[in-house]
Structure 1
Amino acid sequence: MSGETNVSDTRANSTLGRYVERCRQRLAWIARARIAAAGVGVVTLLTLGLAAAAAYLVPSQGWIVAARVLLYAACAATVLACIFRRVSAKRAARGAERRVAAFDGQLVTWLDASRRSQRPALLPQLARSALRIVDGNPPRRVAPAWLFAPPLAVVTAAAIVLLWSYQAAPDSWRLPAERLWLGDLFADTRPQIVVEPGDTVVPRGADVLVRARAHGFSAASLDVNASFAGSGRWERAGMLPSSRDGFREFVLVGVSDPVDYYVSAQGINSDRFRIEVADLPVITGIEVNLEFPDWTRLPGRTQDHGDVAGVEGTRVSIALEANRSLGDARLVVGGKNRRLDDGRGDFVIDSPGTWHVALTHRGQVVRISDEYLIDVVRDRPPEVDFVFPGRDRSATSIEEVVLRFGAKDDFGVDDLTLRYAVNGGAWTDVEGSADGETEARLAHTVRLEELGGDEENRPLRPGDLVSFHVHAKDHRQSTKSALYFIDVRPFDKRYRDTGVNQDGGGAGGGGGEQELANRQREILNATWNVILERDTGERTGADLDDQVDLIGILQDTLKEQVDTLVARAEGRRLSDDDEVEPFVAELKNASEQMAIAAERLAERRLDDAVQPEQRALQYLLTAEAGLRDVNVTMSRGGRGSGDSVSQSLSELFELETDPEKNRYEQPQQPQAGQGAEEAEDEWERLTELARRQEELAREQERNPAQTAMSRWQLERLQRELESLRDRLAGDDNRQSSQDRRQNGEQQGAQQGGRSDGRSTAGGAPENETLEDLDRARASIERSLERDATPESAADAFREGAEALRQGAEQILQDSRDAMAAGLRDVERRAGELVDEQARVLERLDSFQQQVLDAVRNGQSYPSRRGDFAAEAESKRAMRRDLEAVAADVARLSEELARSDGEDADLAGILDQALDDLATNRVAESLSISAEYFDLGRPLYIGGRERRIHDALQRLQRRLGLAAQRLDDNADGTPDSRSGIAEVQGLRRDLIDVGAGGDPRSLRNVAAAVARLASELGDHGELDFSDHQRAYRGLGASAENRERLYRLTLAELDRLEIALGKVDGTAIRAEEPRDEGYDADDVARYFRELSAGNLPKTQP
């Protein structure tokens, strides 16, 4: 019995112990919840309070760091308190007795007695008594769950307040709160204001340039807020735009006391910074000497400002003046210290950066001068160009071709060499003496009669080829020009006219034999262009290899076509014909050279591939010339099989070349300027008729008796007037019929697809002209009436003369309207070309992105030839449209050149547009792009396509400019003159402000000048970077205002000169012609000489 009692007592003590422990744990969690709620509340109040203080007081960076430490400490204390908070068993027992009155001290008494070494005898009875109470009062009643509610409510309320404050509070509160908590963790994405120089120390009395920019948000303006020592208040001022992108600046002039400052915008404030003032040396004067390397050929230069610019290797010597000894001052260049010896130091320009003067003050490095820029002027390679002819041309084998070429270099051309080769032979160098000139112009005459066509030095013959380019060098770089050709043509035009104009390197359409030569010419040009891109570093690595591979594929493809053509000719036994056999032999020679070129391209030997490509082109041109002779001989010889052989050759070429090339009907185009010439003739006739009728009126008044002579003159005048009227009416009817027909064709083209873009500009006279002629004829008829008095006859004469003058003016106006309509039409068609090119670019960019995605996913993205058939056809159509636009632009240019006054000047703009198309070989580039698209390899022509787009945009802008100026001239308000007037007005405004005037007004005029310069576009690209380097916004000092005034005045002078050039007519390179020498006459002379038919000379 005693054993069972002991077991029961032990179980009671154990159960009662577990009860107390459970109560202790629940009470401990309640205590932790209360601590956490208190901590969250304190942190919330601290956040709101500190954010408000930061918003309104704009504290310094140290204050913000201290506040952040306080917040972090509060959080850490709360967390530690929650972790280490404990509730003792005795405290838990007392808490239970307070909650359950039935315990009446039993639980505490039991806990104390159970911890004694000698337990009282009544302890078991006390435990059993307390245990009976425990059974009815579990721990959740001692520490109920609702005690967690208040702490949770406080935490929830604090979270809601913080969230609401973050969303609803302005940025001036929210951003400081973020910085308090996160510091600079997300500074790159958070809206903030970046300020320079921040905290700094400056010499007493120095000017301090404060720069600031908005980061992460857009601000229309920035304000600097400064509090000077002893003032006790903040002063605000707006900041001015700076030359640095996005920055604004303000100069604190003559800082003599410590200054606290910050920058604000749209409720966002920067950090608060402080400018300390020390009695340090002040730089009062600066002299900078620049010694340029010898190869620049530039003399030394001395300047009174610290911004320096020069090529690498330029030595900069600096002499400083200060109001006191500089002591241990040093020159800081690019962050590296250099020694100053009595205010003098030097450094060598090797990279862009900054320099300033600094010294050590109280252990801190202090900048005592402005920070000056170091600009490295890049030594650009020479620019070479052919002034004349500037394009491919043809000549007879006895002509003398004048080549005018030149080069430009920023520091002088050391060597200028013309290199030419005959039929792909060795290059022949013609050295020129550049003498270090920055712009060298040389000329050389190529006497084709003296050149040999092969190793045996035979005379040149039709089909031979002379290629040439210019090579220029400066002190360490060299540049090559594009490759140009002289095609040797026959003396007379015995060949059949294909109806297609060949120009710009034979890129136009034509027969199949011409197409083979054109394709080889494009391959040769592509190889040469890749060599230029390789030499300039524009294309390297895999990109270069891919481009060379593509050219090799094109060369192999053309070789296969030539081989197939030869095989088919031999299969039809055409080579058995004595006159066709040389043609086939030339094709075989061309194929052999193509194979050599393709092999060298496969080996990446670009330079070695040029010569065989030239020889292949020469063989094709020789074959082309021989084929012309075959056709002419067979057509003149009357041989029965002649037509059959000629037809067979034509069929073979059509099988091997693009059959689509000649499927398009070539509509007859009027000769350039034909409509304008007719309008001018009609105007002259009407003016002459008006003059004669006016003379008849005066004669009738002076001598009314001469009726017979006057009547005869009137009848003659009437007949001429009726003849002119009938002709004009007939032209009007024909033009109306043509317009209706063209309108119908255009509607059909629009319904079926893309319009061919032919121009309908020009036209017949309006009905007003015919009405004027009718009035003049009626006046003559009235004067011929028998009962007409001399006075009425004279009045009729004058009325008729006035009607004729009005008719003449109407014809001129009609011609002007036709030219304006023509300009608007070609501008519209050029815009369509730009839109189509943009569509092709978009398709190309999309394809490039697809390929990139496929490669990144480890997939292949094969492109098939047919994938870009639409783009290839679009390129061919664009070339046809571009050639039509260029032809119409050339016609309009000739018409404008014959005009009077300011209209004639517009021809220069159109000539510039044509020269730009020829210089950039836009038409040829379109054909090459079509070949790339046909091969399904458009990735290699991204750069070419963008250059085409840029060139077409320039064409559209120039045509729009010409059209706009023609309209303005008609209104009597030419915009170019208004541009000059605007420059003159700005100059007057600048002079009114004066060198010492208001700095804001000076800046406004300078900004207006910059805006006007940007509006000049392609006709007035002005580089003001040297002025920007020479001027820095250093505040309102007299020296700085004087500098801005002088620079702005110089810019206005350059603007007026540029606008004057826009008004002037551009001088195009024209072929020099010797009046005493004519190629056709010389050819005729030699033919007659060979036939023995020369006339005898007079003794």
Structure 2
Amino acid sequence: MNYPTYIGEQLMTLIQTVRRQRNGLFWLRGLAILLAVAAGVLLLVGWAAYKQRFNAGALVGLRVGALVALLATAWLALSRPLRQRVSDAQLARLIEEKSPGLDDSLVSAIEFADDEKRTLTSAAIFERLNAKANQSAHNVNLDAIVPRKRFWQYGGAAFASVALFIGALLFGPQEIRKGLSQVVTPEAFAATTDKDALKITLKPGNARVPKGTDQKIVATTVNFEAETLTIFTRKAGAGDDQWVSAQMEPAKAKNEFQHFIFNIQEDTEYFAEAPGCKSEIYKFTVADLPYVKRIDLAYDFPAYTGMARKVVEDTGEIAALAGTSVRVMAYLTHRAKSARIVLKDGTKLDMQAENTEDGALIMAGTINVTKESSYHIELTSVDGDVYNGSNEYDIVVLEDMPPVVTFEKPGRDTRATSVEEIFSQAKAEDDYGVSSLEMFISVNGGEEKKVELQNLQREAAKSLSGAHTFFLEEYGLQPGDFVSYYAKARDARHETTSDIYFIEIKPFEKDFKQSQQAGGGGGAGGEQPNALSKQQKELIAATFRVIREEERYNEQEKTENYNTISLGQEKLRDATNQVIERIKRRMGNNLDPNSDFGKLIEYMTQAAKEMEVAIPLLKGKNAKGALPPEQRALQNLLRADAIFREIQVAQQESGQGQGSQRAEELADLFELEMDKKKNQYETIQREQQQQGQQQEDEAKRKLEELARRQQTELEQQQQRAQQGQQQ
């Protein structure tokens, strides 16, 4: 209640001002909440409405739900707070709580202004109480009661909600705008968004078709994806209970399905259906018209392939290289007035009648293959009827794959003395013809020498072979040297490189079985010189493959491959340095730099230095720059391997002498026990193999994984080439 007669003017003004500001703040707060909720609800409803835009029940539910949410928010945030009546005494209490030091003067003045209490109170006391309340009201800070910053906060929140909503409509997904249009003005939306409707289109639709032909129906889902599609057919004019259903097969395109009606004899109606969507009903009208009963194709390949014309009978599907000219010869059942080849994009190519000795009715036209497409034959009967005279056939553009080149002999790394002759044979295969085959040879990673194995000046061959014999005596090699070689094959557009292989120069054989067991291939799992050189050859082969295939890698694959090789090279460098340190510690002051032991350390030290050069180049993704130091490291490891073998032979020949003792110490350093007790050697060998399997080096594992991946890519390339040859 208000008491304007008995309450002082200052106090009344304060109460009325606080009431207005409080109500205004409630209005603004409720509006901010309502706008925020409205923005969120409408955006969510718009998105959901677009997803369910063709589901009438769902749209009705969304409209009702949005309306209920907005009404509930308006009641809770606006109507209910404003409907609550607050007395003057309650407002006075609020003012005193926000303004300490008033000592209940405002509340007391309002309470004693009541007629009943006022009559029980002396006038002097009431006037004094009222005067104090007026004075206190005059000194009250209104901003402390209803802070102005609250108005700014709620106003800012309301503005932000509106701005967010408008921004989402203008710059957000168009689905939200379309969904809101569907919710707010469904009729207008339906009239303007037919292009976005869920529908199923059928080809050829309504059509006159020759009697006895096979008709291909292609269904395309528009604006949605379906896992299955069902086609329904019936005799034209039959009842609804005569529809016969069948599952359509997936076609080439993602959103296409196909179905064949074989040997059509009567007028047929058909439509297709997916969950929640159905096509129109179309009709095949059967007539006694000529049609295409067979198609032959004559391929004229691009000149660079060197291939002669190829005729494929009784097939309409075209698969050829870009630039191929294909002569399409259509055999008709009866005479037609004219014929045209109709491409997928609507382009029409006229066909001409061809004269044949047997009197066959042939219409021929030419398609120049430039891109993926499809075609059918359109006929005009002698009576002027225009119709599809054939099914739709695909035009597939084949990729000209690069040649595949391999070594048939020896087909692996080999070891030979410096006077042997090594026969090698390379073979190249290509889907459209190899024009040349070359071999590249390098000694100890030096300058490459090219050997021309085959060079065809005219027609290319699908398969080429070339042989070369290495007369190693001509190279002036010594044990520890190596010869690397690989082959390149070219077709008209591509060049392919084989893997790299090695011929390792070994000492002349000495009939000493135990020496072979001790040094032959690193079988004991220790860090022997030839085990190190074997790993270095694997790293070189991996680097060579990266050079060959780098253009096909994406950035992530390139980084992974370089990281694998560089990590493997670091591990091998560390292993080499560890062996060197162990030899130095064991030999101590007895190590003579000019002795075999000294030379062994010298070669291994130089190998480690070359590895150190290669590592930053690999990390910098410079495979071509890293290959020479990798090969020089291999040369030094192979020479260390040769010295290691000489020491083993010397050990066997010297018996129990001082040289034998040092050689046995060296074998221990390489974790290869050469005790004359065979059983003990085999026991240690088995233990080392088990330990090596359990503690497989991570870098080596990754390197092997890289080699397997590269080998898989090579095999896939070979398979594609073979498939291309079968086309």
Q: Answer whether TM exceeds 0.5 for this pair.
A: yes
Deviation at 1:395, TM superposition (A): 1.2
Distance apart, 1:524 and its partner CA: 1.2
Q: CA deviation at 1:339?
A: 4.1
CA–CA distance in 2 between the matches of 1:431 and 1:437? Answer: 16
Is the 1:223–1:236 Cα contact (8 Å) retained in structure 2?
Answer: no
Q: Give the distance between the partners of 1:291 and 1:349, measured in 2 at CA.
A: 10
Structure 1 residue 422, shift from structure 2 partner: 1.4
Quote the residue 1:208 is aligned against: 215
Q: Which amino acid in the other structure matches residue 352 of structure 1?
A: E
Q: CA deviation at 1:277?
A: 3.8
Q: How far did residue 949 of structure 1 move?
A: 11
Name the CA distance, whole Å, in 1 between partners of 2:584 and 2:58.
97
Structure 1 partner of 2:159: none
Report the Cα distance in structure 2 between the residues aligned to 1:423 and 1:668, rounded to whole angstroms: 35
Deviation at 1:379, TM superposition (A): 1.7
Aligned position for 2:113: none
3-state DSSP of counterpart to 2:517: coil
Q: CA deviation at 1:69?
A: 9.7
**1:442 pairs with 2:466:** yes
Aligned counterparts of 1:475 and 1:947: Cα–Cα separation in 2: 25
- In the alignment, the residues of structure 2 paired with residue 579 and residue 1025 of structure 1 have an alpha-carbon distance, to the nearest angstrom, of 57
1:500/1:510 contact within 8 Å kept = no
1:375 is the counterpart of 2:399: no
CA spacing shift, 1:946–1:301, aligned 2, 3 Å:
closer
In structure 1, give the amino acid aligned to 2:699: E
Residues 445-483 of structure 1: per-residue CA shift (max 9 Å, x gap): 1111112xxxxxxx2222111111221111111222222
Structure 2 residue ranges without an equivalent (≥5): 1-52, 68-189, 353-362, 673-678
Q: Distance in 2 between matches of 1:238 and 1:468?
A: 65
Alignment match, 1:551: 565
In the aligned structure 2, how far is the partner of 1:399 from the partner of 1:930?
A: 38
What's the TM-score once normalised by structure 1's chain length? 0.40
Q: How many residues align?
A: 511
Distance 1:68 1:213 in 2: 21
3-state DSSP of counterpart to 1:409 = strand
Cα distance in structure 2, aligned partners of 1:239 and 1:599:
65
CA deviations 1:833-856 (Å, max 9, x no partner) are xxxxxxxxxxxxxxxxxxxxxxxx
Contact 1:261–1:274 (Cα < 8 Å) also in 2: yes
Structure-2 residue corresponding to 1:700: none
Q: Using the TM superposition, give the Cα deviation of residue 293 of structure 1 relative to its aligned residue in structure 2, in angstroms.
A: 0.8
Residue 183 (structure 2) pairs with residue 415 (structure 1): no
Identical aligned pairs, as a percentage?
A: 25
Aligned amino acid, residue 226 of structure 1:
R
Q: Which residue of 2 aligns with 1:388?
A: 409
Alignment partner, residue 497 of structure 1: 515
Task: Provide the rounded CA distance (Å) in 2 between the counterparts of 1:1026 and 1:579.
Answer: 57
SS in 2 for 1:253: coil
- Residue 346 (structure 1) aligned with residue 366 (structure 2): yes
Aligned partner of 2:517: which letter? Answer: G
Distance of 1:232 and 1:502 partners within structure 2: 86
Q: CA deviation at 1:310?
A: 0.8
- Is the CA contact (8 Å cut-off) linking 1:353 and 1:375 kept in structure 2? yes
Partner of 2:205: 199
Query: Do structure 1's residue 562 and structure 2's residue 579 form an aligned pair?
Result: no
What is the deviation of 1:250?
3.2
Question: Relative to 1, partners in 2 of residues 1:292 and 1:507: Cα closer, same or farther, differing over 3 Å?
Answer: farther
1:1061-1086 deviation line (CA, Å, top 9, x unaligned): xxxxxxxxxxxxxxxxxxxxxxxxxx
The question of whether the paired residues in 1 share the 8 Å contact of 2:214 and 2:263 is answered with yes
Deviations 1:740-778 (A, max 9, x none): xxxxx9xxx9xxxxx98xxxxxxxxxxxxxxxxxxxxxx
Where do 1:76-225 residues align within 5 Å? Answer: 196-197=202-203, 199-203=205-209, 205=211, 207-210=214-217, 224-225=232-233
Offset at residue 589 of structure 1 (A): 2.9
> How do 1:828-847 residues align onto structure 2 when only pairs under 5 Å count?
none
TM-score by length of 2: 0.58
1:307 counterpart = 2:326: no
Change in Cα spacing, 1:945 to 1:467, as seen in structure 2 (3 Å) is closer
- The answer to whether residue 699 in structure 2 is matched with residue 931 in structure 1 is yes
Deviations 1:668-706 (A, max 9, x none): 99xxxxxxxxxxxxxxxxxxxxxxxxxxxxxxxxxxxxx
Letter of the 1:392 partner, please give it. Answer: D
Going from structure 1 to structure 2, the CA distance change for 1:946 and 1:581 (only over 3 Å counts) comes to: closer
- Write the distance in 2 (CA, Å) between the matches of 1:407 and 1:444: 15
- Equivalent residue runs for 1:886-897 within 5 Å: none
Instruction: Report the equivalent of 1:293.
Output: 302
Structure 1 Cα separation of the partners of residues 547 and 420 of structure 2:
31
The whole-number CA distance in structure 2 between the counterparts of 1:532 and 1:508 is: 34
1:356–1:371 contact (8 Å) kept in structure 2: yes
Q: In the alignment, is the contact (CA less than 8 A) between 2:234 and 2:269 conserved in 1?
A: yes
Question: How much has 1:405 moved relative to structure 2?
Answer: 2.1
Q: Which residue of 1 aligns with 2:598?
A: 581
Shift of 1:72: 9.7
2:432 is paired with a residue whose SS is: coil
Q: Higher strand proportion, which one? A: 2
Q: Per-residue deviation at 1:292?
A: 0.7
Q: Which has the higher contact order (CA 8 A, sep 6+)?
A: 2
Q: Which residue pairs with 1:318 in the alignment?
A: 328
d(CA) in 2 for partners of 1:639, 1:501: 20
CA shift for structure 1 position 508? 7.6
In the alignment, is the contact (CA less than 8 A) between 1:207 and 1:255 conserved in 2?
no
Q: Quote the Cα distance in structure 1 between the aligned partners of 2:630 and 2:376.
A: 59
Distance change in 2, residues 1:341/1:631 (3 Å)? closer
Equivalent residue number for residue 909 of structure 1: none
Cross-structure match for 1:513: 529
Aligned 1:327-346 pairs, distance under 5 A: 331-340=341-350, 342=352, 345-346=365-366
Task: Say which of 619, 638, 650 aligns to 1:633.
Answer: 650
**SS at 2:233 equivalent:** strand
Deviation for aligned residue 1:527: 1.1
Deviation at 1:326, TM superposition (A): 5.8
Q: Is the 8 A contact 2:204 2:218 kept in 1?
A: no
How much does 1:232 deviate? 5.5
Q: Evaluate the alpha carbon distance shift between residue 501 and residue 313 of structure 1 in structure 2; reply closer, same or farther with a 3 A threshold.
A: farther
Corresponding residue SS for 2:263: strand
The CA RMSD measured in Å over matched residues stands at 5.3
CA contact (8 A) 1:195 1:210 kept: no
- Offset of 1:354 from its aligned partner? 0.9
Match of 1:426 in 2: 447
Q: Give the aligned partner of residue 281 of structure 2.
A: 273
User: Of Structure 1 and Structure 2, which has the larger fraction of its residues in helix?
Assistant: 1
- The residue matched to 1:411 in structure 2 has which SS? strand
Cα contact 2:431–2:724 (8 A) shared by 1: no
Amino acid at match of 1:349: V
CA shift in 2, pair 1:236/1:268, >3 Å: farther
CA distance in 2, matches of 1:261, 1:521: 67
CA distance in 1, matches of 2:706, 2:637: 30
Change (3 A) 1:269 1:540: closer
Task: Tell me by how many angstroms 1:200 deviates.
Answer: 2.9
Q: CA deviation at 1:599?
A: 3.9
* 1:431 Cα offset (Å): 0.8
3-state SS of 2:445 partner: coil
CA distance in 2, matches of 1:619, 1:932: 21
- Equivalent-residue separation in structure 2 for 1:622 and 1:1024 (angstroms): 46
With over 3 angstroms needed to count, the CA separation of the structure-2 counterparts of 1:69 and 1:497, relative to structure 1, is closer
State the Cα distance separating 1:617 from its structure 2 match.
0.8
Measure how far apart 1:333 and its partner are.
2.5
Judging changes above 3 Å, is the alpha-carbon distance between structure 1 residues 358 and 385 closer, same or farther for their aligned structure 2 residues? same
Deviations 1:20-73 (A, max 9, x none): xxxxxxxxxxxxxxxxxxxxxxxxxxxxxxxxxxxxxxxxxxxxx9x9999999
- Is the alpha carbon distance of 1:941 and 1:619 closer, same or farther for their aligned partners in structure 2, counting shifts above 3 Å? closer
